[in-house]
């Protein structure tokens, strides 16, 4: 695997989120996610736990009928089978996430 800088690139190229798998094993997948401004996602409900941390920028999630605003350094555990979605992301700087999927 090549050397990785979690902060580069630091701007989304286009209107869709980009996902980069940093580690993939039988029990865990680690991803770097780069979100363009004002990202809105469909409701997701995964069969595994997911821990997300905002490395840069900010984001607002909707989870279990509540809204959670995450700023740089904030994290949240999304339990398996919990409906959730992104309802907005920051403009400056663009939002960079670290996501750990616990399989």
For residue 3, the model assigns a pLDDT of 85
Of 103, 67, 58, which Cα lies nearest the Cα of 85?
Answer: 67
User: What are 6-35's pLDDT values in tens digits?
Assistant: 999 999 998 999 999 999 999 999 999 999
User: How far is the C-alpha of 67 from the C-alpha of 87, rounded, in Å?
Assistant: 9
User: How far is the C-alpha of 95 from the C-alpha of 90, rounded, in Å?
Assistant: 6
For residue 79, the model assigns a pLDDT of 98
Structural domains of the chain sorted by starting position, each given as residue range(s) with its CATH number in brackets: 28-102 (2.60.120.10)
User: What are 72-102's pLDDT values in tens digits?
Assistant: 999 999 999 999 999 999 999 999 999 999 9
8-state DSSP, 94: P
What pTM, to 2 d.p., does this model score?
0.94
């Amino acid at each position: 695997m090549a050397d990785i800088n979690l902060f580069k690139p630091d701007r989304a190229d286009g209107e869709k989120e980009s996902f980069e798998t940093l580690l993939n094993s039988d029990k865990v997948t680690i991803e770097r996610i780069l979100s363009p401004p004002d990202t809105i996602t469909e409701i997701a409900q995964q069969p595994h736990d997911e821990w997300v941390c905002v490395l840069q920028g900010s984001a607002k999630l909707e989870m279990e009928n509540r809204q959670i605003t995450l700023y740089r350094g904030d994290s949240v555990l999304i339990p398996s089978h919990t409906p959730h979605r992104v309802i907005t992301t920051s403009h400056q700087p663009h939002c960079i996430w670290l996501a750990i999927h616990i399989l």
